Structure 1
Amino acid sequence: YPAGEIPIFFITFPCDHYTLAANMHGRWTGDALYLEALREIVLRYPEIVILENVLGMKKFQRVMETFRA
């Protein structure tokens, strides 16, 4: 690959916001870092995108719908 091209993106989500423990401790702030990740995917168009499977992620429907699109 030419310099600067990234064929694979591995995206992890901040556990403080997306895990089950975040809601139990009242720490969910609604941060939208996933939108920054999506922006990079759209701009760089990597061949492969791997998303970390954070326990509790399915409860955040907006995040799930964004990445399905």
Structure 2
Amino acid sequence: MLRLDLAQEPRLLGIEANTHQCLGEAQRMQWLGEVAELQESLRHITDKKKQAERLRAQAGHGEAGAEALS
């Protein structure tokens, strides 16, 4: 089972920035299928960022553990 690793959060943020750039290009080029797929990717990235926030909060409260990736 895959686990969210907080040490990889900077990489996730880089992927998010790149996805936003690709989305802008896809919108300019009117690649509607690509736009939809990139928007879906951004929704998943947002979910992972929320998981990271929850993990940080758990760690701050002394709770060990990690959430499984969806």
Larger radius of gyration: 2
Structure with greater proportional helix content: 2
Structure with greater proportional strand content: 1
Q: TM-score, normalised by structure 2?
A: 0.36
Higher RCO structure, 1 or 2 (CA under 8 Å, sep 6+): 2
